[in-house]
Amino acid sequence: MSGDINLTLKVWRQAGPKAKGKLESYKVVANEHMSFLEMLDVLNEQLISEKQEPITFEHDCREGICGSCSMVINGQPHGPQTGTTACQLHMRHYKDGETIVVEPFRATAFPVLKDLSVDRSAFDRVIQAGGYVSVNTGQAVDGNSIPIEKDLSLKAFDSATCIGCGACVAACPNGSAMLFTSAKVSHLGLLPQGKVEGVSRVKGMVAQMDKEGFGMCSNIGACEAECPKEISIDNIARMNREYTGAMLGSE
């Protein structure tokens, strides 16, 4: 078929969190118009037809929205294209005869469940520690009744585009979740509705982040470079200022 390319895939196979994993090689023919996940679908169909165990990997929307398709492709979270999730990466970026290594995200806080699937529930617990705005029972206040500066609202929206995929953690040599946590702190803390709980939010979320076993930030910047939503590390600086102020007792 026109546009078909022959590939060798070296895929990480691991039966469970405590099992020993290894890279296994597979041959697959993919079309250049396929997405990376569609190519893995083709490989899984091939494995099933050969009565072999299919490769486990996460996916949901396949539109670059949900953040489920977490995998490291040739050493880069989500692959070589900047600002792109693995599900939106297309095979036209690869050459016929190329070898592609596919691994799960590597981080202490993200234990491997099976093959390319990892447990990212640590992110959920970080959000539960403060990533929300409390609303008392009754009629919610009209959001448009509070004037917000355009520059402020844009910064908040840019932070809110974080999809929680974990690429920042996988890219960081320390396995830090500072970019994720700071994006969640910023997108609420920048707005007047979120400032009320700003101190408790940053204290709670940073404490939970440390409790989950994420590493410390050393300002390498790999998190920003690999983030599919191109979240800025300016958020980390903002969160550090808020956290310092909160711990010193200032607002």
What residues does each domain of the chain span? 4-114, 121-248
* pLDDT at position 147: 85
State which fold the 121-248 domain adopts: Fumarate Reductase Iron-sulfur Protein; Chain B, domain 2 (1.10.1060)
Instruction: Tell which CATH architecture fits domain 4-114.
Output: Roll (3.10)
* pLDDT at position 142: 73
For every residue of the chain, DSSP letters joined together read -TTEEEEEEEEEE-SSTTSPPEEEEEEEEEETTSBHHHHHHHHHHHHHHTT-PPPP---S-SSSSS-----EETTEET-SSTT--GGG-BGGGS-TT-EEEEE----TTS-EEETTEE--HHHHHHHHTT-S----SSPPPPGGGS---HHHHHHHHHHHT-----HHHHHSTT-B-HHHHHHHHHHHHTSHHHHTTHHHHHHHHHHHHHHTT-B---S--HHHHH-TT---THHHHHHHHHHHHHHHT--
pTM equals 0.92
Mean confidence (pLDDT) of the chain: 94
* pLDDT at position 1: 53
All residue ranges of the chain with pLDDT < 70 are 1, 140-141, 143, 250-251
